[in-house]
Amino acid sequence: MGKSYKLGIIKGDGIGPEIVDEAINVLDAVATKFGFEISYEEFLLGGAAIDETGVPLPQETINGVKKVDAVLFGAIGGPKWDNLERHLRPESGLLALRKEMGTFANLRPAIVYDELINASTLKPDVVRGVDIMVVRELTGGIYFGQPREYAQDRAYNTMVYTREEIARIAKVAFDIAMKRDKRVCSVDKANVLEVSQLWREVVEEVAKDYPEVELSHMYVDNAAMQLIREPKQFDVIVTGNIFGDILSDAASMLSGSIGLLPSASTGSKVGLYEPIHGSAPDIAGQGIANPIATIASAAMLLRYELDETEAADAIDNAIKKVLADGYRTGDIAAFDAKEVVSCTEMGNIIANYISKS
């Protein structure tokens, strides 16, 4: 018998339950195929938690997610809860959960699928084959640095990183590069900022433990330009909080179809894997949501949290095949659809490809 894993499942609100159900469908298919077991435990978060318990992040969820191997999450939020006080709103629950889980690394892949190349606003030749992983430091840098102050005529923030914070995010990036094309580009502003000088020094030190990985450095202004000019040059990009915030959004738009992109907040014992889109209340309950971003998040979970590389590859290949065969949910129907399918059908087709491959 193979290994057995326990996953925390947070379906959330809006299309969350529909898309997460299809990711579970696909996870079950790879577990059967590759001979491991997955059990699931559901937790409440966001609007669903408010309706049931009165708060967006119940204590049972905080306790529960610390006892599983990884968490797969759909999305939260919706107009029903928009008028609540800020600390009681669904989004506060998600921010608090990430903090509780201590996830300091945000992984944001930008993948351009050949079949959806026309969804990009850039020329096909520029984006064909793009497969970038942006590793963003999530809990340090200028968003959290002290001192900070807003005053009438003067306001300031502090960009601060410690050696330890830089080393641990660099290590995440190098570990990921080892599972990819073994290239890391560290992005900073070392020509102007002392904090970036330290960043560069520490990344160089960490690189010594990964002789197989090629390390390069790039200033953030140039990186922004290069992402648009020649995005294929990048494999893994590692950078601080504010630079990563901006670059990961720019990178995700290379694909033009954000409904397909997964993400992860990780680095601590348990990682949180989720699509980059929201709960899409406008289409919730209609069975037309695209589950691919959530299914791709499940593949990331297998690859980066559970080390089940073959299973992760099988999911990624099945997603490529489903797109190559012309199956599209409504949101991407404009791009060479041969057949428009529902959320459940898309999940079933991907699961069947895996079982039969």
140 binds ligand NAD per the rule CB under 6 A: no
Q: Which is nearer to ligand NAD, 196 or 257 (CB)?
A: 257
331 makes contact with ligand NAD (CB under 6 A): yes
Alpha carbons 302 and 237: distance in angstroms, whole number: 21
Residue 259, interface with ligand NAD (CB under 6 A)?
yes
Judged by CB under 6 A, which of 26, 50, 213, 280 binds ligand NAD? 280
The answer to the question of residue 281 lying near ligand NAD (CB under 6 A) is yes
301 DSSP 8-state letter: I
Write out the two tokens for 5.
């894993």
Q: Does the protein bind ligand NAD through residue 48 (CB under 6 A)? A: no
Per-state percent for the chain, helix, strand, coil, to nearest 5 = 45, 20, 35
Residues numbered 4 to 33 that lie near ligand NAD (CB under 6 A) are 15, 19
User: In this chain, which stretch among 21-29, 32-40, 51-59, 72-80 interacts with ligand NAD, using CB under 6 A?
Assistant: 72-80
What is the x/- site pattern for ligand NAD, positions 190-229, by CB under 6 A?
Answer: ----------------------------------------
Handedness of CA 113, 291, 139, 202 (dihedral sign): negative
CA distances, 265 to each of 59, 68, 137, 171, 268 (Å):
20, 15, 10, 15, 9
Nearest to 159 by CA among 133, 188, 185: 188
Catalytic residue from among 3, 66, 143, 232: 143
Q: Does the protein bind ligand NAD through residue 78 (CB under 6 A)?
A: yes
Kindly give the residue spans of alpha helices, DSSP state H, lying in 215-291: 220-229, 241-252
Torsion angle (degrees, nearest 10) of CA 233, 160, 57, 49: -40
Strands (E), the chain: 4-12, 37-42, 70-75, 105-111, 131-137, 149-150, 155-156, 183-188, 214-219, 236-239, 262-266, 272-275, 327-328, 339-340
Catalytic residue among 209, 221, 282, 325: 221
| Rg of the Cα atoms in the chain | 20
Active site residue 123: no
Q: Is 304 a catalytic residue?
A: no
Tokens read off for 352: 């069947």
Check binding of 350 to ligand NAD (CB under 6 A).
no
- Residue 278 touching ligand NAD (CB under 6 A): yes
- Is 13 annotated as catalytic? no
User: Which residues are within 8 A (CB) of 194 and not within 5 positions of it... i.e. 6 or more apart?
Assistant: none
Told to check if 289 binds ligand NAD by CB under 6 A, we report yes
* Of the candidate residues 277, 304, 314, 319, the single one contacting ligand NAD (CB under 6 A): 277
The nearest distance, CB 43 to ligand NAD, in angstroms, is 14
Clarify whether 249 is annotated catalytic: yes
Question: Which chain residues interact with ligand NAD by CB under 6 A?
Answer: 15, 19, 75-78, 91, 94, 259, 274, 277-283, 289-290, 293, 331
Q: Would you name the residues annotated as active-site residues?
A: 143, 189, 221, 245, 249
